[in-house]
Structure 1
């Protein structure tokens, strides 16, 4: 008798070929003409669990080695499913779990308890050796800017910093705040490129440690400083001329958008400029992918622009530019995953095989969101005064050309893994 999973797969897979193997035997689905993927289940229970709760169990079964991809890889399987329709394959159990997760998500958004530091530590305080396996030498853990197309990851991450710096319209001696400062690469670039004074705030102890060490090594400690600080409780002595936030807004949460932009208004000088860089999704969603929520980014939420823009307006800020980068993160994630897979032995040595598969699934699933689900990056430029930014966009390209001249003379970056004495 066919398992509930195989009955479900028969309804879903029409394009391409999916072969399913396991204790119940081998069966082939689909009409061909597309991707060809082969899965093997190690036990009957695995098939039943996946059919009942695919959003969570697919990642868990792959992570635990109970689901093995024998032809293609996990990205190919995810893409194959997305290239077919899921509308006819929903079961009562899947719908029930989806509604339950929406209810839990809405409840959590209303509980007045802050777990931000704990949530950040869950991901960003992992062993720094892990990030050295797949990031560029500047440890840019956010979407790169592949302009022109086909450039390397290192070149694209530099292009990202250049593009944002150009939009910030920096001038020497300005005070800059970076909300979510990562491992310090953006702050150091801005300071060296334009002679500005940068304060970076983070909730990650590990990122704070490495950022401070990097600034010290580049003799920037007097111009670039990092603090363990939550933006909601931050009380700067003066307002900032410029604010930048890259890859942090995804951790704010929809019920905190109003407060976030009110804080930006408080922090920003009257003639100031901010650039906000974040992942966006094409429409409002009421729940985060349960695997990502449980294992990768607890408390995270990807906003739709329709959720963000009203809070900007209500905070009294003006939008001077919105740029959509639709596929740049897909390229970034592809580079990261290929680098990570190439260093599998090192990743397993750091943690274990289960952790490696968990991160393989996370990176593959994230790439698929941009290639098949219309996720994108948005960069929003904000201001308080109408004339704080030129009235046409050609200044961005002009400033980027100026920054390229600075980059040609800039002292080379020391790879973080070498600076830290890492051996991976």
Structure 2
């Protein structure tokens, strides 16, 4: 990988045919590069203090080589951990979570439509077969989740963080469930409501603009899914989150938690300024935990982990598909963003998303972050429930049903 630098004043260093060119207008930004602070360099690009030329794949390869070491969090000091927990607790009130979700998901529906699949599924796809397109892999993911949950016609199904309705509508149309979804995004809520009316699903599918903490627990759900949502919950609220799912779930029912997890076993964020960049421009309030801590909090809430599957490389491929799609629509994306309420920041938003999608693809490829699907049950205490004595849920305790021939 060849990189050339254009220094303040116009002098150039590096090969003439370099794959990546970094253009600096001042010396402090160049000092950031020499320190390996990739996140700050990304911020300088978003704020137009640094110019970057080259394909996103080449730029990410260059970025990886500029890092002084692994960016996986390694600060395990008690004071650091205590402060992170306190910050997490303060960052995740219902009001702040609503603002943080809307900051990201309400950028523009038309903007997301340029680079997502037609169903606008904004989470890790499942490339069950190598030759699948993004749209096919997203449908495979939706069906994979429904199969894992063993959805049956007439069951009450809850989708926490329903996005643009991909899973909610798939479960209703293909598995005949009574589906309820919630979201904090006003744009997503309006979009899903329109789809419900267009598809004639009123009475079978509902979408609510509400926080998961506000869900009524008087009527339980047979099955629950949470896809790409718990990253917004926060370390401090994770026990509360899983306890809420446990109370919403009928005894013997199944719940699927699908979300991004950290590579470090200690709470934190990616180093070299990468986590700070994501928090500032993309996902304010987002927090990642190692799957071991997720499983501990899940078990502490009275849920039994049944099956855990790592889909990390699937998310790398998904993100590259999104990145490639956005790169192929840059002029359209700029025009769409200029029509939004954040028109003055359209250029910043576009530059931030270009780096975010490609940077996350690289991070999943290199194992700096991961993606786990965790299937759990609320045991019903009945030794005769299920195919095997002591199952205490509908789960058959084999994986055969998940992968039918």
TM-score band, normalised by shorter chain: 0.7 to 0.9
Which residue is 2:24 aligned to? 41
Q: 1:266 to 1:102 in 2, by over 3 A?
A: closer
Matches within 5 A, 1:20-99: 20-23=5-8, 25-28=11-14, 37-51=20-34, 54-70=37-53, 72-83=54-65, 86-87=68-69
Q: How far has the Cα of 1:109 moved from its partner?
A: 1.5
CA deviation vs aligned residue, 1:361-380 (integer Å, no higher than 9, x gap): 11111111111234221111
Contact 1:55 1:291 in 2 (8 A): no
Which residue is 2:342 aligned to? none
Unpaired runs of at least 5, structure 1: 1-15, 30-34, 90-94, 402-424
CA deviation vs aligned residue, 1:329-357 (integer Å, no higher than 9, x gap): 11111111111111111111123333221
SS of 2:403's partner is helix
Which residue is 1:146 aligned to? 127
Q: How far has the Cα of 1:100 moved from its partner?
A: 11
Contact 1:21 1:40 in 2 (8 A): yes
Contact 1:83 1:372 in 2 (8 A): no
Contact 1:50 1:58 in 2 (8 A): yes
Matches within 5 A, 1:367-382: 367-382=361-376
Q: 1:303 to 1:171 in 2, by over 3 A?
A: same
RMSD: 2.7
Q: How far has the Cα of 1:358 moved from its partner?
A: 1.5
Q: How far has the Cα of 1:53 moved from its partner?
A: 8.0
CA deviation vs aligned residue, 1:159-196 (integer Å, no higher than 9, x gap): 00010010010111110111101111111110111111
Q: 1:88 to 1:178 in 2, by over 3 A?
A: closer
Q: How far has the Cα of 1:316 moved from its partner?
A: 1.1
Counterpart Cα distance in 2 of 1:76 and 1:375 = 20
Counterpart Cα distance in 2 of 1:221 and 1:237 = 22
TM-score (norm 2): 0.85
Unpaired runs of at least 5, structure 2: 338-345, 380-390
Which residue is 1:388 aligned to? 394
SS of 2:257's partner is strand
Q: 1:75 to 1:234 in 2, by over 3 A?
A: same
Which of the numbers 332, 348, 355 marks the counterpart of 1:354?
A: 348
Q: How far has the Cα of 1:281 moved from its partner?
A: 2.1
Which residue is 1:8 aligned to? none
Q: 1:307 to 1:137 in 2, by over 3 A?
A: same
Determine whether 1:109 maps to 2:88: yes
CA deviation vs aligned residue, 1:220-248 (integer Å, no higher than 9, x gap): 11100011111112214300000011110
